[in-house]
Structures are given as structure tokens and as C-alpha cells.
Amino acid sequence: MDINYIYLMLACLLGLAMTWGVGANDLANVMSTTMGSKAVTVRKALIIAVIFEFMGAFLGGSEVTDTIRNKIINIELLANEPEILILGMLSVLVASMAWINFASYLGFPVSITNAIVGSVVGFGVIVLGSNTIHWDQVGYIATSWISSPTLAGIFAYILIIHIQRFIFARKDPLKHAKRFVPYYLFLIGLVLSFITVIKGLEHFGIHFMPMMQLFIAVGCGILITVLGLMIINQIPKSLKLKRHETFTYIEKIFAILMAFTACAMVFAHGSNDVSVAVGPIALIMSIVTNGGDVASTPTFPAWLTLLGVSGVLIGFLMYGRKVIETVGSGITALTPSRAFAATLAAATAVVISTSTGIPVSTTQTLVGAVLGVGLARGIGALNLVVIRNIFMSWIITLPIASLITIGCFHLLKFFFLNHS
């Protein structure tokens, strides 16, 4: 069998195993607030995950980003050694797969983007030397690991304080809930439009001027507001509610809002993280099918996107429970209203970060938002041990992924090049 097809088969198998870990970790983290707060039933949560992960991957999935090609290292420096680059990308897949699956086993939410960045850095250092790494870009990405969760945490803190003071703390909380819920729904519509509609249309080469984007966003906001209010009006309610029953009813309203925001976050995950995860496979496939041409632009055929999203969903369904428990209930106790504040804040931070060109991790952004919600109830509401473990897993992802990549590259190089 041709060695190139062996490389491609290995890439697909390793990629499937890695995307399995992405589902068990990244997607589980995205769904953690929805399932941890019991805002929707498990069945409905799984339906949201399957439908919007597929939609995000196929409608919002970007073409191959320049992260691997030029942002971390310039792969064209290996134009005369395509097999070295193939082995390097296989090493990136092994390292990312190993780390994200190990983190999933421990229940730590880590980002596949961070793992791949660390892996590419390790490959670049061992093959091209540390002076060829674009350390300024690596630093820029690392800064986003702080800025995006912080931004989401601030938004979540402000939103949950607003909900507590202007709804739950009032004498007639249901009256005030009916007053503010339309505004929350409209805000959800704005965020949904930027994450799904506008991004989905851009995938087909349809780009809008800023004023047109604003018009679409406002239209989506009005549509979601009307649709949300229609669904809320279907919630059965007694004519006279005691105060604790009123709180329960309001939480049911926030559960509806939570379902909408969950759709946005899963779509965002499918459109960003799936394409990042299968990026190394696309690069290997491009080199193999183009006769070793490193400069050729990788593409995402439908079967490759299907491979990636299938692996993600299988991993989520089979092994996502541990990460869901860590983020959904381990950091702080979540109710539908708190989960809504965290998820909407995370989705808003994703929109702002991506629109300003800041690289963002949905995993870290959502964790930051959950921290903001917990902090609004006081430091005692947070599980500091769990938070410490999460932050430690973020910090060590880049060096560990780098080291695993270096070791894998040496092994693959010895096996394939020394015995060819």
C-alpha cells in the first residue's frame, strides 16, 4: 500500500479519536450549564447538541484557518520536506488526542484550540528551531485565555446581579420578570444572529455591510422575542401562586431562555472547534493529494466535516458526564436563571471577541462566565479546589501538548523514515 494512503488513514483514525475527546470535553463543557442546571430535559439537551453541532460544523465552519499554516509557524519552510510536515501533523493529532482524552477522564475542561497550538509549537521548535516560532502570536493567543473568560465573567456577574435585584428581590417578582424577559429575549436574538445567521451566510460567500448586519440582528432579536414569549405563555400557571411557587415559575421562564442560548453556544462550538480539530487532517490530506505540495490550500470536504462532527457527538454522548459535572455543578450551584446568565454572557463574549479578531475558546469563556455567576453570590459559593484544578489544567496544556508532540514526532520519524 502507498505510504501516503497509510498517512491519510492514520490521520483519519487519530482525528476521530481526537474529536471523540473534543466531544467528551469541549462540547460537554458547552452543554454543562444547560444540563447542570436542569434547565431542559436530558433528551432535549441531546437534541440541541446534535442538531446545532451539525449546523455549526456545516453552515458556520470556516475554511482552514491560518493558525497552523502561518500564525504559529510558517509551514512553507518545509516545502522540500513534505513528509516531515505530515509526520509533524500526525504528532499534533496524537498529542492533542492524548491530552484532551486524559483531561476528560479527570473531568477537567480544556480547549482543543489550546492543545493544538501547544502541539504545533512543540513541532516547530523541534524541527525548525525556537527562533522560527511566532512568539508574539503565541503570546497574543495566550492573552486571550485570560481576556475572554474575564470578559464573560464580568458580563455574567452584571447580568445575574440585575436578575437578582430587579426580579427575584422585588415584592412582585413575576410582574418584574414579565417586564424584563422581552429585553433578555431580544438580546438573545442579537447574539444568535451574529453567531448563526450572519456567520452561516458568510460560509456561502454572502457578506453584509455593518448596517445590513445590524438590520438582520434587530430582525432576529424581534423574531426570537415573539417566539420566546409565545412559548413562555404555554407554561401552565395557577391563578394564585405562593412566593416560592412564583420563584419556581420564573425559573421555568429562564429555562426557556436558557434553551435558546444553548443553541447559540453549540452552533458556535460546531463552527469553530470542529474545523480547528480536523485542521491537521485537512493539511495532511492536502499534501497527499497534491503530490507533496506544502503550499497548497487545504479544504474541508463534506466527509471530513462529517468525520469530525460525528466523533465530537459520539464522545459527548459516551463520556461527557464528568466535564458536565465539573462545570455544571462543581464550580458553583446553578439554577436556570444563573445558567442563563452564564451562557448568554459567554455567547456575548464570543461574539465580541471574534468580531474584534481576538482568538477565543468557548470552553474557557463559559468557565469564566460560570465563575462570574458564582462570584455574584459571594466567594463562599465557589468551589475553590475545582477552580484551582481547572486553571492548572489550562496553564499546563501548552507545555504538555508540546512535549508529547516532540516525543511522538521522534518516534514516528524513526519508524517511517528510518525504516522506509
Kind and range of the H or E run holding 103: helix 82-106
- CA dist., res. 202 & res. 207, Å (int): 5
Report the C-alpha gap between 344 and 159 in whole angstroms.
9
CA–CA distances in Å: residue 323 to residues 31, 101, 108, 310, 380: 10, 11, 6, 19, 22
What pTM was estimated for this model as a whole?
A: 0.86
Rounded (5°) CA angle 212-218-224: 135
Q: Is the pLDDT of residue 186 over 90?
A: yes
**Whole-number Cα distances in Å, 216 to 164, 203, 210, 239:** 31, 16, 10, 38
What does the alpha-carbon distance between residue 24 and residue 314 come to, in Å, rounded to a whole number? 8
* Cα–Cα–Cα angle for 88, 99, 398, rounded to 5 degrees: 70
Percent of the chain exceeding pLDDT 70 equals: 93
Give the per-residue pLDDT at 359: 60
> CB 253: neighbour CB atoms within 10 A?
23
Cα separation, 8 vs 5, whole angstroms: 5
Q: Could you report the per-residue pLDDT of 19-59, keeping only the tens digit for each?
A: 998 898 888 888 888 888 888 888 888 899 999 988 888 87
Q: Give the model confidence (pLDDT) of 69-91 as tens digits.
A: 667 887 778 888 889 999 999 99
Predicted confidence band at 64 (pLDDT cuts at 50, 70, 90)? Answer: very low
pLDDT of residue 410: 92
Q: Please indicate whether residue 405 or residue 39 has the higher confidence score (pLDDT).
A: 405
Each residue's pLDDT tens digit, 265-309: 888 888 777 877 888 888 888 888 888 887 777 777 888 889 989
Phi, psi (degrees; rounded to nearest 5) at 398: -65, -50
Query: Would you say residue 180 has pLDDT above 90?
Result: yes
